[in-house]
Amino acid sequence: MSVDIKTTARSQVTFRAIAAHAILITYTLIALFPVFVIVINSFKSRKAIFREPLSVPTPETFSLKGYETVLKQGDFVLYFQNSLVVTVASLTMVLLFGAMAAFALSEYRFRGNLLTGLYLAIGIMIPIRLGTVAILEMMVASGLVNTLTALILVYTAQGLPLAIFILTEFMQGISDDLKNAGRIDGLSEYTIFGVLVLPLIRPALATVAVFTMIPIWNDLWFPLILAPAEETKTITLGAQVFIGQFVTDWNAVLASLSLAIIPVLVLYLIFSRQLIKGITAGAVK
């Protein structure tokens, strides 16, 4: 009798596990399928792209024609470099300035502390894009249109509110003993921040970095409006324009899409453990 109950319970559990896996696998396929189709077809000849869109490239259908066209035509190296400069520079500024502000807000009691925190947090909810018209006017007035500086400034402003918010929460959790020990040893507040606190918040910085980096790298709006010139195009804008011109050259379109996917994908796979740790850290603490 009792054996019977046990086996039904166990089979119920197995059934549930199978159902869960089935749903998750189905959704994983849905998530990966478009990426997969694009990448495999970018390595095929034009004929094969149309005749057998769902099969992997074979020795007969293998072709790199699309990649040749893309690398010959576009200034992708330059675009890539622009994106890299913009992303790295704004990321550095967001992390450094964000951490400094978060330190001031979490460490010291002063008049206006709460108000400053609230003021800086408004930007989490209100998208910076709504100020585009005035931002463009300002950039025109200061001669920054079509410079990477304009993009870096905008992205820094865009990233700061969330960064300050997350880092403030995190810094409140650091014990005071360490900092006070530093003060007794005569360290300046700047040294305490730079040498004692910054290394401790590295995991939080990594999380903020990932959250800040993805929208900057993928943004189309501000490059299109503030820096559409050939020499300042980012890779996202470059791909948009390039694909627009080559709509009929399927090899080139598929190859350029694959080229745009791969760098982000590699970065993501490197950072993904950190990202997931960061997201769940708030929960597990």
Distance CA 148, CA 86 (A): 6
Rounded to an integer, what distance in angstroms lies between the CA atom of residue 233 and that of residue 79? 6
79 touches other proteins (CB under 8 A): no
Does residue 213 sit in helix, strand or coil?
helix
The strand pairing partners of 44, in sequence order, are 62
Q: Which is nearer to other proteins, 226 or 232 (CB)?
A: 226
Q: Shortest distance, CB of residue 160 to other proteins, whole angstroms?
A: 5
Q: What is the CA radius of gyration of the chain?
A: 25
Lookup: tokens for 100: 């400094």
Please give the residues from 181 up to 220 whose contact with other proteins meets the rule CB under 8 A.
188-190, 193, 214, 217-220
Sequence-separated (6 or more) residues with CB below 8 Å from residue 34: none
Q: With binding defined as CB under 8 A, does residue 110 bind other proteins?
A: yes
Site string for other proteins, 153-182 (x = CB under 8 A): xx-xxx-xx--x------------------
- Residue 268 interacting with other proteins (CB under 8 A): yes
- Fill in the DSSP letter of residue 57: P
User: By C-beta, is 90 or 232 nearer to other proteins?
Assistant: 90
Contact between 5 and other proteins per CB under 8 A: no
DSSP-based three-state secondary structure for 44: strand
Which residues, numbered 235-264, are part of the site for other proteins (CB under 8 A)? 236, 239-240, 243, 250, 253-254, 257, 260-261, 264
In the complex with other proteins, the residue whose CB is nearer, 20 or 88, is 20
Query: Could you tell me the sign of the dihedral formed by the alpha carbons of 201, 202, 204, 205, in that order?
Result: positive
Nearer to other proteins, 148 or 164 (CB): 164
d(CA 114, CA 98): 16
Does 133 help bind other proteins (rule: CB under 8 A)? yes
Site for other proteins in 7-36 (CB under 8 A): 16-17, 20-21, 23-24, 27-28, 30-32, 34-35
